[in-house]
Amino acid sequence: MKVVWMYHDIMDLYGDKGNMMVLKKRCLDRGIPFELDTCGIGEEKDLSEYDLIFLGGGADKEQISLIPDLLSRKENIKKAMDEKTFVLLICGGYQLFGQYYIAANNEKISGLQFYDYYTDTGKAGSRCIGNVVIDADLDGLKTRIVGFENHGGQTLNVTHPLGKVIKGYGNSFGAGYEGFYDGKILGTYLHGPLLPKNPEVADFVISKAIQKRNPDFKYSDLKPLEDKFETMAREAVFKKLEI
């Protein structure tokens, strides 16, 4: 499994690196070879060579700094997606695959415009902050996802949400739904990081990445792992939120 982490040096908010650590550990525990590469501003990489593209979160300053480089890779990213490279996007990464993002200073930042959703800024500096729990259906895998959100951006016009909000805010105040999933990309505001507390989501991402080279591979083909500590972490959140 070949993974590329884009802008690893500036888009690593709230421990997003932990997502890569989890994918590596869960692959190696199953004897699945795992290769993690990075791609910074100005680096020449053919993103279509990878099974998974990962882009984490960052503040406005970081997002603005990488936009010219990201937009220059639009055709290559599209090629990768067309060739079944799966894409995992957290927070800022999620926003940048939409039409545009309006920063806190009201600067309009153009996105890759692969999807119709767009991100406005929270009024009067308001932010969606706190623990969040959503119920998702990932290609038939029904799973409850937990995480932490902290975003001023209000993502609107989301046609394929990742899941229904049980606790927290989601894509925007009063949205009732969180994230985006369409089979090609999984975008979410859930930090924490996302994957350590959600082993089913981690394994789902692994299975989607493997399917690039092995189309017949199924989620159920993954060897089960003991998720004792992950389960304890999830139960602690559920208890705190009285779920």
DSSP string, 28-85: HTTT---EEEEE-TT----GGG-SEEEE----HHHHHHHHHHHHHTHHHHHHHHHTT-
Is the previous residue joined to 224 through a cis bond, with omega within 30 degrees of 0?
Answer: no
CATH of the domain at 163: 3.40.50.880
Strand partners, 180: 187
**Active-site residue (options: 8, 39, 151, 191):** 191
Number of domains making up the chain: 1
Minimum mean pLDDT range among 1-5, 13-17, 23-27, 217-221: 13-17
pLDDT at 234: 93
- Chain segment 91-129, per-residue pLDDT in tens: 999 999 999 999 888 889 999 999 999 999 988 778 999
Token pair belonging to 214 = 């092995």
Catalytic residue flag (residue 151): no
Residue 135 near residue 153 (C-beta atoms within 8 A):
no
Q: Is residue 158 very low, low, confident or very high in pLDDT (cuts 50, 70, 90)?
A: very high
Catalytic residue flag (residue 191): yes
User: Containing domain of residue 44, as a range?
Assistant: 2-240
**Active-site residue (options: 8, 27, 39, 91):** 91
The better pLDDT of the pair 126, 223 is held by 223
pLDDT at 99: 98
Q: Does residue 127 have a known ligand-binding role?
A: yes
Total-model pTM: 0.96
